[in-house]
Amino acid sequence: MELLAQAADFGTYGKWMPPNLSVRGGAIDQLIEILHYFMAVLFVGWGIFFVYCLVRFRSGKGGSAQYHPVKGKASKYAEVGVAIFEAVLLLGFSMPVWGEYKNDPPPADKRVEVRAIGEQFQWNFHYPGPDGKFGRTNAKFIDNVSNTIGLDPDDPNGKDDIQTIGALHLPVGRPIYVRITSKDVIHSFAIPTMRVKQDAIPGMEVPVWFQIKEGATTANLLKSKSMNEDFDTAKTNWYRVRHLVASKDYADKSGQIILAEGAGIGLSRDAGEKKLKQLREAGIDSINMHPENPLEVICAQLCGNSHFKMKAQLYTYDDAGFEAWKKSTVPEVIEEF
């Protein structure tokens, strides 16, 4: 039963749901869709009943209030019916999907493992180096510039480890295993396009695992046509396009570029509206734009006054690209004599 058209694959960004780029995300989408249909039925059903009661029992001559609770088979059936309905939702739909997500973690030798450490207000990531072993961490080594995760400088396993802030790099087509924790308050590690969400709890490490669909590399996504959207310059305002960048150069008749490929429309409303006006005046009636990077890791738990900016970019690579990224990032191991 594939209710959700997989049109959501790469396209229709943000129309209904963000694109699903995770191998198992379809099950979550299906569940969300089924729940919405069920709730729509309930909403309409109760709405009709409510209006019926308003009309049927309106005040009028000869009417008198009854103070006894309703006794009768109909209400009992309705209550039993609702209980069965909810049991079906829980046992028949939600628990199997949850089980699929939470059972059978990928084996340690097959997975790409990374630690995600939340803090107010950034995501820190910790990768083992080529040795595949995570170095020890301890709060006493934390330094907010070069060692945000508190890696122990004396642990040989940690010498080649990689730390990043605000950037998660992952390969496609391989099981990903993220160990999630927090340095301060409760955060929530969420990647909407991967249909992954897990609370980050200080003092605990909770894993999640998922797999990115083959082909969903960041480079491919940015090239993919369906990630791009056309905007009518006459009808568009700054709010609608402020988070997007142009997918090609736009120039006026003299050839002077007004909006360059990869550039945004402007950080302030004034600048953005001015740019749109400029485009219209140059006779450009449509601009094609896309998100600068379509993939984000966000915090899904209101964790403080700057919660909104607790975002990280997710970069996805094919195997060769991922290995190349790791090589370019590994700290040089300095031999000590």
Instruction: Summarize as ranges the residues that interact with Cu ion (CB under 5 A).
Output: 187, 299, 303, 310
Buried b (16+ CB within 10 A) or exposed e, 192-225: bbbbbebbbbeeeeeebbbbbbeebbbeebbebe
How far is Cα of residue 316 from the mean position of the Cα atoms in its chain? 14
State which residue, 117 or 244, has the beta carbon closest to Cu ion: 117
CA nearest neighbour of 290 among 246, 257, 234: 246
State which residue, 16 or 308, has the beta carbon closest to Cu ion: 308
Min dist. Cβ of residue 170 to Cu ion (A): 20
Min dist. Cβ of residue 198 to Cu ion (A): 12
Min dist. Cβ of residue 289 to Cu ion (A): 28
Residue whose token pair is 């080594």? 141
Min dist. Cβ of residue 314 to Cu ion (A): 16
Min dist. Cβ of residue 150 to Cu ion (A): 18
State which residue, 248 or 309, has the beta carbon closest to Cu ion: 309
User: Cα–Cα distance between 302 and 186 in angstroms, integer?
Assistant: 9
State which residue, 289 or 303, has the beta carbon closest to Cu ion: 303
Residue partners of 174: CB distance under 8 A and separation at least 6: 110, 111, 112, 211, 319
Q: Residue 215: left if φ>0, alpha if ψ -120 to 50, beta else—which one?
A: left
Min dist. Cβ of residue 306 to Cu ion (A): 9
Sequence-ordered strand ranges (E) for 158-295: 162-165, 167-171, 175-182, 187-191, 196-200, 206-211, 229-232, 244-246, 250-251, 257-259, 286-291
State which residue, 287 or 303, has the beta carbon closest to Cu ion: 303
State which residue, 186 or 258, has the beta carbon closest to Cu ion: 186
User: Cα–Cα distance between 192 and 182 in angstroms, integer?
Assistant: 20
Q: Are 158 and 152 in contact (CB under 8 A)?
A: yes
Q: Any idea of the CA torsion for 138, 139, 145, 149, to the nearest 10 degrees?
A: 50
State which residue, 221 or 310, has the beta carbon closest to Cu ion: 310
Min dist. Cβ of residue 187 to Cu ion (A): 3
